[in-house]
């Protein structure tokens, strides 16, 4: 068990983490707490948010941490989240826009309703959280980190809304960084490849044989495996820390080298179905 709020690279900063009920969000909320931050654990699932809070309280002694149920696609709910965090913790230093959803649809098959739901959650959520946190982040010269994806930089079949939303987050990051630099607010985004999360487990199942799909995914990566959530969390903590004080408007790829490969090197490995 480690001590919270008095040690680590985040000092006594206050962070809001969306999508913190599982996966990258949960791992990052925990890593931030380990590094001294107080954390508002926000998720659409109240149960999952509370599970993350319990995990943090068990591991990080004295950490100030609270759950908050929020649907980031609703600006009204986002405003309640920001107000809660500001009142409960007294300030906001870090915003990690991580909440997102993924559904398998091609441009031919996707409905307008599904398109809107994915874009409103992935992109709209980051926009609402960013816009409404600005007055608080100005006071602290705070930091925003957005979760894009390797699929925000490259295309993929049956992923049209997800790819579009994650590409747009890169644009949102760059433009926000330019607008907010005058306040000393830094804005960056991360672009992970596949990560061991429940979302990716669902992707494996999509191919019919989950174990075969897992093996194929791992073989695609030069490092022989997909990422662990904790590895992504460490990058987010670095970007949120003073060690990254001159980094803004940048997209940080963390994909085990898969995007560095020439396509011909991938072809022999792609045989999932």
Lowest mean pLDDT among 48-52, 167-171, 202-206, 250-254: 202-206
Active-site residues: which are they?
Answer: 162
* Torsion angles phi and psi, residue 191, rounded to 5: -130, 85
Domains of the chain by residue range: 2-196+228-260
pLDDT surpasses 70 at 270: no
* Torsion angles phi and psi, residue 38, rounded to 5: -85, 145
3 state SS of 270: coil
Contact assessment for residue 185 and residue 134, using Cβ atoms and an 8 Å cutoff: yes
**Tokens found for residue 75:** 């600006």
**Closest by CA position to 153, among listed 59, 243, 252, 64:** 252
For the chain, the maximum distance between any two Cα atoms, rounded to a whole number of angstroms, is 55
pLDDT surpasses 80 at 204: no
Beta-strand relationship, 186-192 and 65-69:
unpaired
The pLDDT-based confidence of 273 (bands split at 50, 70, 90) is: very low
pLDDT surpasses 70 at 263: no
Q: Is 257 exposed, middle or buried (0-12, 13-18, 19+ CB in 10 A)?
A: exposed
Residue 266: per-residue pLDDT: 57
Q: What is the CATH number of domain 2-196+228-260?
A: 3.40.50.720
**Closest by CA position to 119, among listed 105, 137, 133, 135:** 105
Rounded to two decimals, what is the model's pTM?
0.93
C-alpha span between 93 and 34 (Å, rounded): 16
pLDDT surpasses 80 at 269: no
Could you write out the DSSP letters of every residue in 231-265? HHHHHHHHHHSGGGTT--S-EEEESTTGGGS-HHH
259 vs 72, residue with greater confidence: 72
The pLDDT-based confidence of 268 (bands split at 50, 70, 90) is: low
Instruction: Tell me what the mean pLDDT of segment 171-179 comes to.
Output: 98
User: What residues contact residue 147 under an 8 Å CB cut-off, 6+ apart?
Assistant: 19, 24, 96, 97, 98, 100, 169, 189, 190, 192
Which ranges of the chain does DSSP label H, i.e. alpha helix? 23-34, 46-59, 75-89, 112-119, 125-140, 160-180, 198-206, 210-220, 229-240, 263-266
Lowest mean pLDDT among 65-79, 172-186, 255-269: 255-269
Instruction: Tell me what the mean pLDDT of segment 38-63 comes to.
Output: 97
C-alpha span between 27 and 78 (Å, rounded): 22
Q: What is the mean pLDDT of the chain?
A: 92
C-alpha span between 90 and 68 (Å, rounded): 16
């Amino acid at each position: 068990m480690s001590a919270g709020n008095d040690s680590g690279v985040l000092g006594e900063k206050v962070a809001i983490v969306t999508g913190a009920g599982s996966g990258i969000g949960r791992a990052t909320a925990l890593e931030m707490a380990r590094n001294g931050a107080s954390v508002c654990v926000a998720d659409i699932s109240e149960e999952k948010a509370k599970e993350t809070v319990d995990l943090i309280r068990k591991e990080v002694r004295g950490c100030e941490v609270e759950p908050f149920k929020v649907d980031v696609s609703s600006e009204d709910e986002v405003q309640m989240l920001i107000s809660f965090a500001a009142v409960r913790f007294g300030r906001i230093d870090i915003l990690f826009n991580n909440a997102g959803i993924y559904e398998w649809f091609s441009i031919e098959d996707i409905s307008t309703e599904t398109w809107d739901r994915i874009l409103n959650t992935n992109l709209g959520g980051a926009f609402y959280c960013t816009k409404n946190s600005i007055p608080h982040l100005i006071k602290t010269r705070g930091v925003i980190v957005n979760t894009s994806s390797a699929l925000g930089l490259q295309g993929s079949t049956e992923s049209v809304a997800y790819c579009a939303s994650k590409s747009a987050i890169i644009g949102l990051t760059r433009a926000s960084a330019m607008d907010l630099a005058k306040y000393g607010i830094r804005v960056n985004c991360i672009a992970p490849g596949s990560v061991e999360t429940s979302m990716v487990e669902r992707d494996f199942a999509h191919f019919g044989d989950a174990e075969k799909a897992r093996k194929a995914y791992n073989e695609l990566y030069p490092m022989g495996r997909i990422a662990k959530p904790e590895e992504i969390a460490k990058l987010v903590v670095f970007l949120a820390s003073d060690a990254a004080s001159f980094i803004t408007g940048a997209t940080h790829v963390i994909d085990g080298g898969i995007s560095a490969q020439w396509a011909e090197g991938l072809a022999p490995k792609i045989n999932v179905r």
